[in-house]
Structure 1
């Protein structure tokens, strides 16, 4: 029997025993003498048995003995349920005493009085049990915790602590509940609910709390989280965040509590949880063969993880980075033997190999995430951008077309809108190639465009964290430079959502929220690390802009036409210019080719003017 089931069985036995004792005491008081068991008739036993049966069955159906998710421990709901159970048993017994002849006689009001006494005892017993568990739960020390919120998420979390019991995996001891909203819950798991975040500092001081966990049902605003973070810093409290409530449905107990994490930079800049339409995504992916290029990269690996949970018939992970494939397979299966058919070591520059792989595996859906993405490096080596981001993309497109792929999604970047860099121009060229394929072949051929991703390889966050750990300084290019940011899971989930609504030949732009100033990002990271380091401004690098665009000046955007977080645009479709073969190893030639075929409107105007002057 599991720990949670054993605890419920104990409460069943205690409630039944309390009702029996209360009934016997009431009979004794009325008759001025206790009745010997041998003098109790079989009719009385039948009445008592039926009353107990009603109590237990009703307790199971209401959730008191079966589902802590429905009856909050220590809440008024639990008190009411206990009263209902005891009085149901009492009413049953009272009704039967009127109908049947009892020996010794039991007056109809005696079971009712016993029910009231048993209810009071049940509430008292549970209160004492919670007090003992809180103060003498085990020899290992738990972190004293204030819960912020008194709704569904908080309920699930406390129940997960209850399931963990005194296990060493249970890291927390709840000492207070603070509700930022003026809700209707006044008592929560035996603790009085304190209203208002302004009470947090005083509550933490009185309870000797060490941490605060955000467990509100509604996502808090960026400003609210920053205020909360400031209060915790002043009070020397750790600020923690719960995983999505769905995690509690899948993992109860200590496994769930282990998923609690500290607040991170994404929380401070206001990236809110994404509500993915899992039903549509699941019906689209389930049972299909899915191939992901760049599966060892940050976005590609997360796409693999997201796709994997929707049950494709086959997930094919392709990359030239064997270390990346090893890490992705390990995250999916817990082992990384790299000896199965799910991992494919190949380079998208190798057209012949790609054709062979696609012909053999016959994928239904392709996510093309393989690319070179480091802007400053590609400014020095534009021919490499041509070989991978342009020719490599065309190789994947051709192989997919030959294999009659149904859906092809090219992963792009916001730098492809009004591009000012080699990276942006090469990715816009890839968008144009994908759109052209949509005009030439059946199925869906589309691109998905989004901005910077937290935690991806080589991201500014990773760089800042390393600089802070090494004592600084933190280097920022310009005080006003700003970028759009998403988390890796958020970007990957929106890619899957875009797959469902995409139409062939278009580029889908993901909702990125408000741009974030990089200098503010650096300051928040320094604050999170409690570090004393300087910020040094180094100047914009070649190809960098102060602000990025999500939509090109030449594009007309349809905002939220099919999904509130997705904007649809159309790029100019273009087949691959055969002259590109001359520029795959010529950096200057590659630079000119990219400016012509992937450049911004401004770049084209400059080139046209230059040609006019020469003529």
Structure 2
């Protein structure tokens, strides 16, 4: 595997390890031979991917709140990690309208807690902070956002992630300034990924889980924003990007301590309607509809990422086009409903096949 020389036998601290992307990350790190310690809230459901993958066997799992700064600092400092991947977050746009204060606290102050713990870590460390494509001040025009574009956010989730980016930038300047790198030995980067799809996501109000829940029970798929355009990508694309960035930072910590977008190629920015129809085609049956009068909170109608920097500077590029990403995703769920006993091995095989592309 392309990261084996970097991550094998290294200590990797992952926040949000019990979540959807977090479980894919620790599964990949497990295959790479890393020693992983996770810090996160407990999975919400018995069918969550973390349980399916037997996550407790792949890491030292600490079930605790990212808002508990002292516990977080204690666990991180005791572990003395070589790498930190910060994924813990309140990740849902629509939920952020219901719990805006908690969303701001978890996403901004929680990020500050991780950064503050790193201040007291004595050994060198690479830290990759995962935010979102929604951190950009989105004017919803036919524009592809670059890493140095203005940050902002309409909804509480997007704004809270933009706040997190300001926190990261402040700590990077104040405590982990590259001018004094030889003193602190901390390399801090930021990643912004597009709309991620993949097997094992059961979150409420996400399009793929909504599709799967409907199709698996013979119901119509309810589509809220059929014309909305998003940068869709399979979960292994950004997770592979995080690992690649961490590896690059390990070798050249000052050069890669910056922000990177991970998204699809331009031709793979699809509407929600297109994604739903392609998913139904792969599933083999099903229909969808959009109610004529559906009151929903504001969500961006158009969002696109420029990924040229990641291509040029990291050597990263998408491996799956949109059709392949949807195919991989829906096939995972079909396998899950057909034979849950082998889904763990199926997931490992998916990672290995992707890494070998």
Structure-2-length-normalised TM-score: 0.70
163, 176, 188: which is aligned to 1:445? 188
Of residues 525, 548, 551, the one that matches 2:279 is 525
- How far did 1:389 drift? 0.4
Contact 2:20 2:50 in 1 (8 A): no
The within-5 A match list for 1:463-542 is 463-502=210-249, 503=255, 505-513=257-265, 514-537=268-291, 541-542=296-297
1:562 aligns with 2:313: yes
Query: Per-residue CA shift, 1:486-531, capped at 9, x if unaligned?
Result: 2222321121012223546521111322211111122223333343
Report the counterpart of residue 83 of structure 2 in structure 1: 365
CA contact under 8 A between 1:412 and 1:427: conserved in structure 2?
A: yes
Judged with a 3 Å threshold, the aligned counterparts in structure 2 of structure 1 residues 491 and 565 are, in CA distance, closer, same or farther, namely same
**1:327 positional shift:** 5.6
**3-state SS in 1 of match to 2:62:** strand
Identify the match of residue 16 of structure 2 among 288, 294, 302: 294
**Structure 1 Cα separation of the partners of residues 299 and 54 of structure 2:** 36
1:397 counterpart residue number:
115
Q: Gaps spanning 5+ residues in structure 2: where?
A: 138-152, 250-254, 319-357
Residue 320 to residue 401, structure 1, CA distance change in 2 (3 Å): same
Q: CA deviation at 1:463?
A: 0.2
Tell me which residue corresponds to 2:331: none
Is 2:25 the counterpart of 1:303?
A: yes
**Highest CA radius of gyration, 1 or 2?**
1
| Residues 1:491 and 1:380: Cα distance change in structure 2 (over 3 Å) | same
Q: Which residue of 1 aligns with 2:37?
A: 316
**Are 2:66 and 2:72, in contact at CA under 8 Å, matched by a contact in 1?**
yes
Which runs of structure 2 are paired with 1:5-404 in the superposition (5 Å)? 278-279=1-2, 281-312=3-34, 314-321=35-42, 328=50, 331=53, 336=56, 342-404=60-122
Aligned mates of 1:324, 1:470 — CA distance in 2 = 19
Relative contact order: is structure 1 or structure 2 higher (C-alpha 8 Å, sep ≥ 6)? 2
How many Å apart are 1:466 and its aligned residue? 1.6
* Cα pair 2:43 2:50 within 8 Å, conserved: no
Match of 2:202 among 457, 466, 488: 457
Q: How many residues end up aligned between the 2 structures?
A: 280
Q: Is the 8 A contact 2:40 2:88 kept in 1?
A: yes
Superposed CA offset, 1:199-220 (max 9, x none): xxxxxxxxxxxxxxxxxxxxxx
Gap change, CA 1:315 and 1:437, over 3 Å in 2: same
* 1:165-214 Cα shifts (integer Å, max 9, x gaps): xxxxxxxxxxxxxxxxxxxxxxxxxxxxxxxxxxxxxxxxxxxxxxxxxx
Maintained 8 Å contact 1:282/1:310: yes
CA distance in 2, matches of 1:427, 1:566: 24
Question: Contact 2:17/2:23 (CA < 8 Å) preserved in 1?
Answer: yes
Kept in 2: contact 1:414–1:449 (CA 8 A):
yes
- In structure 2, do the counterparts of structure 1 residues 501 and 436 end up closer, same or farther at CA, with 3 Å as the change threshold? farther
Q: What is the CA-CA distance between 1:388 and the residue it aligns to?
A: 0.6
Once the two structures are TM-superposed, the CA of residue 416 in structure 1 deviates from its matched residue by 1.1
Q: Work out whether residues 297 and 457 of structure 1, in 8 Å CA contact, stay in contact via their aligned partners in 2.
A: no
TM-score (norm 1): 0.42
2:19/2:43 contact within 8 Å kept? no
Q: Is the 8 A contact 1:448 1:510 kept in 2?
A: yes
Give the drift of 1:478: 3.0
SS of match in other structure, 1:486:
strand
Q: Do the aligned residues in 2 keep the contact of 1:397 with 1:434 (CA within 8 Å)?
A: yes
RMSD: 2.9
Cα distance in 1 for partners of 2:44, 2:278 equals 32
Q: For the residues of structure 2 that align with 1:488 and 1:540, how far apart are their CA atoms?
A: 30
1:545 aligned to 300, 307, 316, which one? Answer: 300
